[in-house]
A and B are shown apart, each in its own frame.
Chain A
Amino acid sequence: MKKKTIFAASAIWLVMWVLSIAWYEHKTLSELYILRHYERLPLFNEGYVWNLSFVKNTNDPREVRSIVVPGFPSAIRASGGDGNYHLDNYVSYRGVQFIIPNESDIPKKITELEVTFSDGSSQMVDIGELYLDEEREGEPSTVLSGYHSRGSENEGSATSRFAKDALLTNVTFLPAAVSAKDLEVSINDSLWEKGKTLSFSKGEPLKVSYRVVSEDGVSFAGTIHLHFRTSDGTEFVEEVPFRARSDRDQLLQAIRKGR
């Protein structure tokens, strides 16, 4: 092979890598970003579960060790989220959960969180204005929300991507009116994907995966028909409208913020 050819090929190869790295650096977030996509679920009238997600650079080697809400009692710390879930090559997200007892004397408005990393450093992260009690009034018997709405059935998979025509959402609901341990739930719906009968233990939100088709690939809405049957044979049906949006918009917003 001619030396000139080798030299030219090497130069092109190097330029490709330089552009690749430059583009990657341009796209990634400059700092941790908390998704303002959160949900609060009543936990059998004992308190609240407050979920939130945050995204960070995949090239940031630091792991998030703890998240503390200023003003919260120190016992209320984030738990759950055993790893970073990659949204794409640039950012990963991690869901965390706060369990907040009813009697907690906590601030009703939160604007920032204190995140501690594995290298010992900590950072205050602005999350806008979140009002913790805005949903407490008129609390429904069944709270349902969609989140992690991504086009993959494997939540947490590194290959999870957004689908353009369908979004899979993990629907979480907690029927407050019945005893959880005696409860069976079935969903008669063509969209239902994962078995017909479910059971769950008290205190744990029931999560089901539900595929819905979205026209714009981002938002989706519909009604889930939940058929409940208790151990004494009582049956009842609840129609739960739901509306959710993909994380995609917030992710894009996060990326833009990082630029």
Chain B
Amino acid sequence: MYRKAYLQIWWGLLFLLISFRVQGIDLLPDFIGYVLLFLGFRALVSLHLRFRTAMFMTVLSVIYRVALTVILPGSEEGKPILSYPLTPFLESIQTIFHFLIIYTMYQAICSVAKMQGSLDFAQKLEGAQKILLYAFLAVAFTSPLLPHSVDGIVALLFIPQLIFIFCCLYSLILVRLAARQSAISK
């Protein structure tokens, strides 16, 4: 049962983190990702209460995403109506929600690993959690500089973004491991 929930979370993250567009159509829509994450976290609440926080963050993220769609309907040419720096600002709030989902998910999985006596796995999760946090903070505090960046600095500012993306993708591996752990402990 828990393995299935972890796999739902894995697919949910895949849909959320990866955009695969063919002729403008996203084949991995975020909406499906949110639904899968919500279902996965809800199923795991009985395993540990911390998953409730992750579920709550997912709901908040969905609400924000819907609000953002209403605020930024896009003009005729598909460009946002809001001024340039306001759009990345609103999008960076979305990044915060994504970070919180993954961060709280790490906390929950880590607690479960400790509970089940998988201390090595718990340690790995704690390490990943720290790197994710630092990468996120680097992204958050460099993103306001991006609209004003000049040659050379642009590349530097994108380094934390890249690290953050890798951290998020690494969470896919960790969730897969968590699913395997849950199958073994069962």
A59 vs B86: C-alpha distance when bound (angstroms): 10
In the assembled complex, how far is the CB of residue B156 from the closest CB belonging to chain A, in whole angstroms?
Answer: 15
Q: Mark A89-118, 1 if CB is under 8 A from B, else 0.
A: 100000000000000000000000000001
* Chain A, 6-21, CB within 8 A of any chain B CB: 9, 12-13, 16-17, 19-21
A161 pairs with B137, CB closer than 8 A: no
List residues of chain A with CB within 8 A of the CB of B140.
13
Given A17-B89, A89-B84, decide whether A61 and B148 contact each other with a Cβ distance below 8 A.
Answer: no
B75 pairs with A20, CB closer than 8 A: no
Asked if B150 CB lies within 8 Å of chain A CBs, one says yes
Kindly state the interface size class of chain A when it binds its partner: 10 to 19
A161 pairs with B150, CB closer than 8 A: yes
Q: Could you say which of B77, B144, B149, B151 contacts A61, with CB atoms under 8 Å apart?
A: B77
Asked if A238 CB lies within 8 Å of chain B CBs, one says no
Q: Please give me the residue from chain B that is nearest to A27 by CB atom.
A: B148
Q: Mark B74-93, 1 if CB is under 8 A from A, else 0.
A: 01110111111110010010
Residues of chain A whose beta carbon lies under 8 Å from any beta carbon of chain B? 9, 12-13, 16-17, 19-21, 23-25, 58-59, 61, 63, 89, 118, 161
- State the 3 A-B residue pairs at the shortest beta-carbon distance, nearest first: A20-B144, A59-B83, A16-B144
11 contacts between A and B (CB under 8 A): A17-B89, A17-B92, A20-B147, A21-B83, A21-B85, A24-B147, A25-B83, A59-B84, A89-B84, A89-B149, A161-B151
Given contacts A12-B141, A61-B75, A61-B79, 15 further A-B contacts (CB under 8 A): A16-B145, A19-B144, A20-B147, A20-B148, A21-B83, A21-B85, A24-B84, A58-B84, A59-B82, A59-B84, A59-B85, A61-B80, A89-B147, A89-B149, A161-B151
